[in-house]
Amino acid sequence: MRPTVHDIAAEAGVSLATVDRVLNGRPGVRQKTVEKVEAAVERLGYVRDVSAANLARGRVYPLLFVVPEGPSFMRGLEAEIRSAMQRSSAERTSITIETVPPFDPAAIVAVLDQVDPAAVTGVALVATDTPEVSAAVDRLIDRGIHVATLVSDLPGSRRTHFCGIDNLAAGRTAAGLIGRFCAGRSGKVLVVAGSMALSDHMDRAAGFAAILNSEFPGLEIVGPVETNDDADRVREAVRTAMAANPDMIAIYNLGAGNRGLLEALPQADRGRLAVVVHEVTEVSRKGLAEGLFDAVINQDCGHEVRSAIRVLKARADGLVPLSAQERIRIDIFLKDNLP
Amino acid sequence: MRPTVHDIAAEAGVSLATVDRVLNGRPGVRQKTVEKVEAAVERLGYVRDVSAANLARGRVYPLLFVVPEGPSFMRGLEAEIRSAMQRSSAERTSITIETVPPFDPAAIVAVLDQVDPAAVTGVALVATDTPEVSAAVDRLIDRGIHVATLVSDLPGSRRTHFCGIDNLAAGRTAAGLIGRFCAGRSGKVLVVAGSMALSDHMDRAAGFAAILNSEFPGLEIVGPVETNDDADRVREAVRTAMAANPDMIAIYNLGAGNRGLLEALPQADRGRLAVVVHEVTEVSRKGLAEGLFDAVINQDCGHEVRSAIRVLKARADGLVPLSAQERIRIDIFLKDNLP
DNA sequence: CTGTTAGCGCCTTCAT
DNA sequence: ATGAAGGCGCTAACAG
């Protein structure tokens, strides 16, 4: 049987309370006693039973998620947060969601500035990368609230943690796919983006360009065209670019609005155009199924949400999460390995 | 505050013990009383605190893992099992590992037939798909022990669950990648396999052939060549096949032994040959990094092990795991999105 | 500084 | 068929 606090107490010749104090680093224990207890812990190979501790503690972690309205990917994210809310009693969390208009830094700032430090231990947000938002995040940090950025990072801020994929690597991955799909052919590659005010879009564009230019010299980038993740604007951008560039052989949409892409892709081009997009949604599944999209790069927003919760809880307890453990993978899906 | 057994007891006008009996479906409660309790549960929206229940129960789940010696993928699997053993106190499991010689059905059978039903509640094994192994698994099932197949399934048996990827889909995915990487060129595709006595290899070969033949008519399969997952045999098989087929434009190794492939691939062929293999290992990482492999299809054996444990525990408690929850994904890695 | 004691939510004898 | 009481491993007042 694995040792308990009782065993430690007996072994160290002290009481339960003292053991508990040492175990939890609480003050009011003589250095000598601390050492006795630590020696006993060491000798017996004690490991704390976390669920018993949580049971006794009865602590809950009030968390706030700030998510933009808009594209269906964000709806998926919100669904994952809601599903985490279902589990919240088991995980001792108490989660609130605030939705804000997309591409609206002021709205995010307003929400962040209204957070009550007494009622919230951690905030997770999908950030627009602007100075005002960074400043608001830093203010939260100053008030002792931990902040995790979700999906899109805020590199200029002092946020506690970023829960998302390495978007530079995602861009490189897209380039690796498109380069191989074009297999030696030469031509233009259209890059469509949502907004360069989103750090994830910025990073993807940069990673894509780096690899395409260095490894696939026959391919030339057109764009990135900014569409604010609006499907209609995506459609028009694609139509315009294709008309203007008869030698277009690939498209990379690194933002949202895939519906517009699907509408713009003339059936006639099937088989000639390599198309890579982001995020598995109903639309992108359809694109894959119909053979209009060749690959979808995905981030598992369920993982991201769960990671954000773990990180925020850990920080609230003064622990540092293992960052290796929390890395979010860049998934690649063809129609054949869709989950 | 969320309701507890006390609240249910008060609401139903019975004692804690009775509530507990009803909650756990134990006998010795009048139908009328059962209904009263169930009504109270319903009304208050009670959900049991699993960790408190486990704490009180003190139950442990003794599990046995049977893993072949051999390729490095299996070593990775074993490492994941060992890491699960680290967590075993928290998960209330007690895990034993038995390694058996590869491709040796008799050895597996011997281990399975020696299992003591009193000391083991569930077995997970990487199976060679032969009638003897299936029979041994069925004997375990008859003795009331749940059995999960790991990585490679045993379709002819009555095993409780398969923890692994859909290998037909994995084969299709490989074909989708190779077909696109060859982008309209015509030629031969070498398929290298470990053993057709492994159902995962069988399935991959079948899925690969199905898609390649239907969607990429310019590509013709050579093989599959069986190598028993031996790297030296892989190397020779590849050399022989390439010498015999000057129009070879792609290779799919659906089994192990990637070291042999790496040795056989002449540097001169870089850029002409599309190469897809399975499982992220040191060797395949190297292949990706050097540009000799284009893509690696992977199954996350950590997920598989954790899934096996969840499933076996659930079955031991008479629960049926949600199969949607337990699906293992088929990962695709380029050098750019390697974790 | 240290120990005693009473829970946290649930399960389990042992009585009744 | 039902209830009372004690305990799982840990924490947290509250006393000393």
CATH number at residue A76: 3.40.50.2300
Chain segment A168-186, per-residue pLDDT in tens:
999 999 999 999 999 888 9
Chain segment A106-132, per-residue pLDDT in tens:
999 999 999 988 889 999 999 999 999
Chain A 40-59 residues in 7 Å CB range of strand D: 46, 48-49, 52-53, 55-57, 59
Q: What is the pLDDT of residue A267?
A: 59
- The answer to the question of residue A333 being in a domain is no
Q: What is d(CA A54, CA B224) in angstroms, rounded to the nearest whole number?
A: 55
Per-residue pLDDT of chain B (339 residues; tens, 9 = 90+): 789 999 999 999 999 999 999 998 888 899 999 999 999 999 999 999 888 998 898 889 999 999 999 878 899 999 999 999 988 888 889 999 999 999 899 999 999 999 988 889 999 999 999 999 999 999 999 999 999 999 999 999 999 999 999 999 999 999 999 999 998 889 999 999 999 999 999 999 999 999 999 999 999 999 899 999 999 999 999 999 988 988 899 999 999 999 999 999 875 555 579 999 999 999 999 999 999 999 999 999 999 999 999 999 988 888 888 777 899 999 999 999 999
Beta bridge partners of A96: A64
Partner A contacted by B160 (CB < 8 A): no
Chain segment A78-99, per-residue pLDDT in tens:
999 999 998 888 888 999 999 9
**Residue A137 clears pLDDT 60, i.e. is over it:** yes
Specify the nucleotide whose C1' lies closest to residue A17 (CA): C3
- The answer to the question of residue A203 being in a domain is yes
* Same-domain check for residues B197 and B272: yes
User: Using an 8 Å Cβ cutoff, are B77 and B126 in contact?
Assistant: yes
Partner B contacted by A136 (CB < 8 A): no
Partner A contacted by B224 (CB < 8 A): no
Long-range Cβ pairs for the range B49-53 (8 Å, 24+): B49/A55, B49/A89, B49/A90, B49/B4, B50/A90, B51/A51, B51/A52, B51/A54, B51/A55, B51/A90, B52/A51, B52/A55
Structure-model confidence comparison of residues A244 and B268, the more confident one: A244
* Same-domain check for residues A70 and A155: yes
- The answer to the question of residue A289 being in a domain is yes
- The answer to the question of residue B37 being in a domain is yes
- The answer to the question of residue A335 being in a domain is no
Q: What is d(CA B152, CA B165) in angstroms, rounded to the nearest whole number?
A: 9
Q: How many domains does chain B have?
A: 3
User: Using an 8 Å Cβ cutoff, are B220 and B169 in contact?
Assistant: no
Q: What is the mean pLDDT of chain A?
A: 92
User: Using an 8 Å Cβ cutoff, are B276 and A336 in contact?
Assistant: no
Give which of B323, B332, B333 to mutate to test A binding, by max A Cβ within 10 Å: B332
Specify the nucleotide whose C1' lies closest to residue B47 (CA): C9
Q: What is d(CA B146, CA B314) in angstroms, rounded to the nearest whole number?
A: 10
Which residue is the nearest neighbor of D3, CA to C1'? Answer: B15
Q: What is the pLDDT of residue A139?
A: 96
- Residue among B147, B143, B166 nearest B158 (CA): B147
Q: Sorting pLDDT into bands at 50, 70 and 90, what band is A268? A: low
- The answer to the question of residue B56 being in a domain is no
Partner A contacted by B279 (CB < 8 A): no
Q: What is d(CA B77, CA B306) in angstroms, rounded to the nearest whole number?
A: 11
- A177 Rama sector, left if φ>0, alpha if ψ -120 to 50, beta otherwise: alpha
- The SS3 of residue A63 is strand
* Same-domain check for residues A91 and A138: yes
| Partners of residue B333 in chain A, C-beta under 8 Å | 332
Q: Is the CB of B59 under 7 A from strand D?
A: no
Supply the range of the domain harboring residue A97.
61-165+301-328
* Same-domain check for residues B308 and B293: no
User: Using an 8 Å Cβ cutoff, are A260 and A226 in contact?
Assistant: no
* Same-domain check for residues B294 and B308: no
- Closest residue in A to B273 (Cα) is A183
CB-based contact A337 B339, cutoff 8 Å: no
Q: Provide the CB-side half-sphere exposure for B92 (13 A, CA).
A: 22
Q: Is the CB of A104 under 7 A from strand D?
A: no
Strands (E), B49-168: 61-68, 93-100, 122-125, 146-150, 161-163
Q: What is the pLDDT of residue A271?
A: 56
Q: What is the pLDDT of residue B266?
A: 72
* Same-domain check for residues B293 and B149: no
- The SS3 of residue A111 is helix
Q: What is the pLDDT of residue B265?
A: 87
Q: Average pLDDT of A194-201?
A: 93
Strands (E), B129-265: 146-150, 161-163, 187-193, 219-226, 248-253
User: Using an 8 Å Cβ cutoff, are B285 and B301 in contact?
Assistant: no
Partner B contacted by A52 (CB < 8 A): yes
- The answer to the question of residue A85 being in a domain is yes
* Same-domain check for residues B171 and B272: yes
Q: Is the CB of B56 under 7 A from strand C?
A: yes
Beta bridge partners of B21: none
User: Using an 8 Å Cβ cutoff, are A219 and A182 in contact?
Assistant: yes
* Same-domain check for residues B180 and B157: no
Q: Is the CB of B32 under 7 A from strand D?
A: yes
Structure-model confidence comparison of residues A92 and A301, the more confident one: A301
Beta bridge partners of B179: none
Chain A 3-32 residues in 7 Å CB range of strand C: 13-18, 21, 28-30, 32
User: Using an 8 Å Cβ cutoff, are A227 and A237 in contact?
Assistant: yes
Q: Sorting pLDDT into bands at 50, 70 and 90, what band is A270? A: low
- The answer to the question of residue A257 being in a domain is yes
Min distance A142 CA to chain B CA atoms (Å): 31
Q: What is d(CA B222, CA B224) in angstroms, rounded to the nearest whole number?
A: 6
Neighbours of B179 (CB within 10 A): 22
Specify the nucleotide whose C1' lies closest to residue A46 (CA): D9
Specify the nucleotide whose C1' lies closest to residue A47 (CA): D9
Neighbours of A266 (CB within 10 A): 12
What's B43's domain CATH number? 1.10.260.40
Q: Output Rg (C-alpha) for chain A, integer angstroms.
A: 25
| DSSP 8-class letter at B335 | G
Q: What is the pLDDT of residue B50?
A: 86
Q: Output Rg (C-alpha) for chain B, integer angstroms.
A: 25
* Same-domain check for residues B70 and B193: no
- The torsion angles phi and psi of B51, rounded to 5 degrees, stand at -70, -35
* Same-domain check for residues B125 and B226: no
User: Using an 8 Å Cβ cutoff, are A149 and A123 in contact?
Assistant: no
Specify the nucleotide whose C1' lies closest to residue B53 (CA): C10
Cβ contacts below 8 Å, chain A against chain B, sum to 96
Beta bridge partners of A62: A94
Give me the helices (H) in A95-144, please: 105-113, 131-142
| Partners of residue A214 in chain B, C-beta under 8 Å | none
* Same-domain check for residues B171 and B294: yes
* Same-domain check for residues B181 and B282: yes
Q: What is the pLDDT of residue A46?
A: 92
Contacts of A317 (CB under 8 A, 6+ apart): none
How do A161-163 and A146-150 pair as beta strands? Answer: parallel
Nucleotides of chain C touched by protein CB (<7 A): 1-14
Partner B contacted by A45 (CB < 8 A): no
Q: What is the pLDDT of residue B270?
A: 55
Q: What is the pLDDT of residue B4?
A: 93
